[in-house]
Structure 1
């Protein structure tokens, strides 16, 4: 989430007043007004099943699937399809998908990497021929193969109970009959229209008379209904090998693009093993590169060496240590995270405790680092997006994240299909003309770009504990680490852990075409709620501190209480979402 909608800005003075009061309160997970633990609402508790998504109607669809005998995976797919219609500002079937699933039958976690590859016909030389030094953010060139539909069917084949047609039916009905647009979504939709209107098919399919739908206005997308009906009838091949694929091919040939039928027909996602690191007796799980999940594990490994029972939440020491750990993890992220088929990352070494200890030793407890280098070979010698989570009565829990990347994606909306293609290819590094690049994330045809979207999971004593995620670009691993700390170090409940004010550090070296090495220490964005005494102390340490207007992500979570046999749900107060169960 980038900023608070204008219609919600009456809350700003209240939040800022809370920040002022926090300056004289004990540094804890303080409410911005009263000094008590801060939560916008109670946790949701239910005995049978739970769903938490960024849209109330999607949450209700998930519950309907569960009540009808569907699994947590059926519910997750149904909710994801609904969000593609209802929250096109963050996701859709033109994007990619990653998931972590707790399977009660095997008593283990399974991971799926549903990210697509760059077009095989698009070469580095073509970018240079067009005079480009970076891959553009919008239009046909950053488009990569959409992996979501393949991921749906792969995940459903292993974990689904109900027919896929049943899972897609509620969204098809809403697409035909309409649904009212919610407030935060309307805000981002309005921001996207001027930027994406020049691209073919966008205005015709994603505006009402050339403008974004307003809050509360009914929105229909019959083209998407037709596309989902074709997928319901014909399966994944209807999308990747049928008329939908041929329509995409013809569209990009007409509009100076390179995505071809052959790219779609050859697409295949992959099952991957989640990786973990233990944080104070809890195993935190992420997916390996090409996603950025292991950055959260690197941050936590470094922070585990500090005693946060003696470091209050919101104190300068808390924020400083978190920020310095993030800088280290992101230096490695820029250097090593990429498509492992082209450049395997040393994952085991990067998330090892020994490596974390070595990097921790370089943190100055009193001073902000201005420059941070990635790991050296000697140190490694040791042998806009949506997030949702569901859980069912059998104990299956699904952690799923899906995105078009930059807001509503590339803006490229193929004729009559009702969805926009992602612009994930913008994340590649483009080498200069006449030069080759050994950067792991350098552009190549048929390659998966670096991915920001990451689902997460926590187990304890071999049992599922929390399925959660925090969407929002580079905020995601930072948000994951903060949620884990809030739950384990600061003793917050599931809703408090998401509502507590967040930290975001910006301007680390990035693994993308816009990459420039951090040379000034970057800047810390602090959400309202941190004491001004903390801000002053951080500035004295050499940090640049700003109060940014809302780039703090979107959180959903489900916790399993094994003792009581219930699920606990939480939903992001900064979005339109809802957690609900039965």
Structure 2
């Protein structure tokens, strides 16, 4: 029997959670410890200057979401006064534009989230939960090849300011990014974590850090003000529920879009016998791509009430799109995920994001702040047009699945617009195809967006030819890629045995903790 399991994007992130479970903490203690450790071990993907969502299931209770994602500022300064500029991130087989600068900062929720989760769900003192991250930051973390690869992708952001470069620079050559194997020490971040233990979240939202960050925004072209930080609150919501072939799926509800889009896509796929199509065959890919295409069509539909994504699951909407789905099938985006289960039946799915970071580092803390106002997928109406004082809608969708045999699946993903396609394919691999956990997470994925069908290898040449008859633009990637998300996943069977699978695309690690 296991005492729990954790799957995360870095060995040290996973080990921080495992250490807390061994010390008698529950899944929520473990996920908070892993959250803070990720800010040290995965500093591009997780930051105290960002935000995220926790989908928490206390044993024998209904799943609930803690929304501590970023909030738009209460006032919007004129565009011509704003520090807001584009950079290109190079994924190798594709590139993506992001925007950075002080004008890209939205009100961060990460620190508030840590303390809200601790207050409501945890049993160990906050000092014990932050200690692994503080120790790591002070002693240093070895740069992994995966993390070094991420740094290379967003190098323009890491070179945007001297302070940003200093966080990621080679200790022996401060004008260069650190190579794999370099020992990265973060003394300012260690001190910041210690200050949070002593002073609590008020240092970030009302105290010294708040005053410094908002003064820099006022002087340098940002929107953030003191009242934005002081007014920030973590929101708690019941999880969005849907059924898929006898499984109960719980995910992130509105105002975020990701969970409802996953539910809608799964509802479309339910009209197709995916298991009979042959995994990875042209018909199987057609079905997945068609469902994604129709989901994007709904998202772009001007007549649809985008403030209420749950309406996508209404019977009339589904009937209309399922008809289009059957017709279609007849043709032959810095985020990280932490999943934890404990021996008591508690489940925690935590998805974190800093965007890619805006280039601004809060002085004296080692905290790179988010660039959420510069993320295209959370600004669907265009940049500088965001509604003021509004929780930003996200594609992040921490998800729990209760299978018909009593097994629970804890999952979620990183990957910008690829989050929902990664999660739904993990679910489909488990439910439709009957794959075991590790192959369900590692199996090649597809993603349809902007008229382009992206395929992870391997893909047979004959299948590509068949797909080209239906899809105008088909791209087979040269190798598996972080582009397709990172769905670190844990599974707990009806007997309470837990095991995890890290997504190999994003350096995934799983640790199973024995009694």
> What TM-score, normalized by structure 1, do the two folds share?
0.80
Q: Give the Cα–Cα distance (whole angstroms) in 2 for the partners of residues 155 and 61 of structure 1.
A: 17
Please report the RMSD computed on the Cα atoms of aligned residues, expressed in angstroms: 2.6
Q: Secondary structure at the match of 1:309?
A: helix
Deviates more, 1:498-507 or 1:208-217: 208-217
Q: Give the Cα–Cα distance (whole angstroms) in 1 for the partners of residues 280 and 306 of structure 2.
A: 37
Match of 1:500 in 2: 443
Does the 8 A contact of 2:423 with 2:487 survive in 1?
A: no
User: 1:121 and 2:83 equivalent?
Assistant: no
Does the 8 A contact of 1:122 with 1:445 survive in 2?
A: yes
Per-residue CA deviation, residues 250-300 of structure 1 (Å, 9 max, x unaligned), is 222332222122211111120011112111000112112332221111111
Q: Give the Cα–Cα distance (whole angstroms) in 2 for the partners of residues 332 and 417 of structure 1.
A: 43
Q: Give the Cα–Cα distance (whole angstroms) in 1 for the partners of residues 5 and 107 of structure 2.
A: 32
The structural deviation recorded for 1:157 is: 1.3
Match of 1:255 among 211, 220, 236: 220
The structural deviation recorded for 1:368 is: 7.0
The verdict on how the C-alpha distance between 1:504 and 1:387 changes in structure 2, with shifts beyond 3 A counting, is same
Match of 2:350 in 1: 400
The structural deviation recorded for 1:463 is: 5.5
The verdict on how the C-alpha distance between 1:116 and 1:539 changes in structure 2, with shifts beyond 3 A counting, is same
Match of 1:41 in 2: none
Deviates more, 1:107-116 or 1:160-169: 107-116
Per-residue CA deviation, residues 182-205 of structure 1 (Å, 9 max, x unaligned), is 111011113333334233621233
Q: Give the Cα–Cα distance (whole angstroms) in 1 for the partners of residues 400 and 302 of structure 2.
A: 23
Q: Give the Cα–Cα distance (whole angstroms) in 1 for the partners of residues 202 and 6 of structure 2.
A: 29
Q: Secondary structure at the match of 2:67?
A: strand
The verdict on how the C-alpha distance between 1:320 and 1:345 changes in structure 2, with shifts beyond 3 A counting, is same
The verdict on how the C-alpha distance between 1:246 and 1:174 changes in structure 2, with shifts beyond 3 A counting, is same
Per-residue CA deviation, residues 500-532 of structure 1 (Å, 9 max, x unaligned), is 11101121xxxxxxxxxxxxxx01111112322
Q: Give the Cα–Cα distance (whole angstroms) in 2 for the partners of residues 115 and 531 of structure 1.
A: 41
Does the 8 A contact of 1:176 with 1:222 survive in 2?
A: yes
Q: Give the Cα–Cα distance (whole angstroms) in 1 for the partners of residues 323 and 454 of structure 2.
A: 25
Q: Give the Cα–Cα distance (whole angstroms) in 2 for the partners of residues 432 and 231 of structure 1.
A: 33
Match of 1:323 among 269, 273, 289: 289
Which is richer in helix? Answer: 2
Q: Give the Cα–Cα distance (whole angstroms) in 1 for the partners of residues 73 and 247 of structure 2.
A: 41
User: 1:140 and 2:102 equivalent?
Assistant: yes
Does the 8 A contact of 1:91 with 1:403 survive in 2?
A: yes
Does the 8 A contact of 2:84 with 2:103 survive in 1?
A: no
Superposed, 1:334-483 pairs within 5 Å as: 334=300, 345-363=307-325, 364-365=327-328, 384-405=334-355, 407=356, 409-426=357-374, 427-429=378-380, 442-460=385-403, 465-483=408-426
Superposed, 1:206-221 pairs within 5 Å as: 206-208=168-170, 209-221=174-186
The structural deviation recorded for 1:306 is: 1.1
Does the 8 A contact of 1:52 with 1:558 survive in 2?
A: yes
Which is richer in strand? Answer: 2
Per-residue CA deviation, residues 221-264 of structure 1 (Å, 9 max, x unaligned), is 11111111111112222221121212212222332222122211
Q: Give the Cα–Cα distance (whole angstroms) in 1 for the partners of residues 169 and 460 of structure 2.
A: 43
Does the 8 A contact of 1:200 with 1:413 survive in 2?
A: no
Q: Give the Cα–Cα distance (whole angstroms) in 1 for the partners of residues 140 and 439 of structure 2.
A: 34
How many residue pairs align between the two structures? 491
The structural deviation recorded for 1:170 is: 0.9
Does the 8 A contact of 1:499 with 1:572 survive in 2?
A: yes
The structural deviation recorded for 1:386 is: 0.4
The structural deviation recorded for 1:482 is: 0.7
Q: Give the Cα–Cα distance (whole angstroms) in 2 for the partners of residues 131 and 196 of structure 1.
A: 16
Q: Give the Cα–Cα distance (whole angstroms) in 1 for the partners of residues 474 and 18 of structure 2.
A: 42
> What TM-score, normalized by structure 2, do the two folds share?
0.90
Does the 8 A contact of 1:337 with 1:345 survive in 2?
A: no
The structural deviation recorded for 1:86 is: 1.1
Match of 2:26 in 1: 71
Per-residue CA deviation, residues 70-91 of structure 1 (Å, 9 max, x unaligned), is 1111111111111111111211
User: 1:167 and 2:129 equivalent?
Assistant: yes
Match of 2:509 in 1: 578
The structural deviation recorded for 1:354 is: 4.2
The verdict on how the C-alpha distance between 1:569 and 1:541 changes in structure 2, with shifts beyond 3 A counting, is same
Match of 1:98 among 53, 61, 65: 53
The verdict on how the C-alpha distance between 1:200 and 1:334 changes in structure 2, with shifts beyond 3 A counting, is farther
Match of 1:547 in 2: 476
Does the 8 A contact of 2:247 with 2:403 survive in 1?
A: yes
Per-residue CA deviation, residues 377-418 of structure 1 (Å, 9 max, x unaligned), is xxxxxxx2000111111110100000111x3x1111121110
The verdict on how the C-alpha distance between 1:432 and 1:175 changes in structure 2, with shifts beyond 3 A counting, is closer
Deviates more, 1:461-470 or 1:73-82: 461-470
Does the 8 A contact of 2:438 with 2:501 survive in 1?
A: yes
Does the 8 A contact of 2:459 with 2:476 survive in 1?
A: no
Q: Give the Cα–Cα distance (whole angstroms) in 2 for the partners of residues 132 and 304 of structure 1.
A: 43
Q: What are the ranges of 5 or more consecutive residues in structure 1 without an aligned counterpart?
A: 1-45, 370-383, 434-441, 508-521
Does the 8 A contact of 1:367 with 1:542 survive in 2?
A: no
The verdict on how the C-alpha distance between 1:336 and 1:273 changes in structure 2, with shifts beyond 3 A counting, is farther
Q: Secondary structure at the match of 1:331?
A: helix
Does the 8 A contact of 2:255 with 2:309 survive in 1?
A: no
The structural deviation recorded for 1:548 is: 2.8
Q: What are the ranges of 5 or more consecutive residues in structure 2 without an aligned counterpart?
A: 87-96
Q: Secondary structure at the match of 1:524?
A: strand
The verdict on how the C-alpha distance between 1:317 and 1:430 changes in structure 2, with shifts beyond 3 A counting, is closer
The structural deviation recorded for 1:490 is: 0.6
Q: Give the Cα–Cα distance (whole angstroms) in 2 for the partners of residues 542 and 192 of structure 1.
A: 31
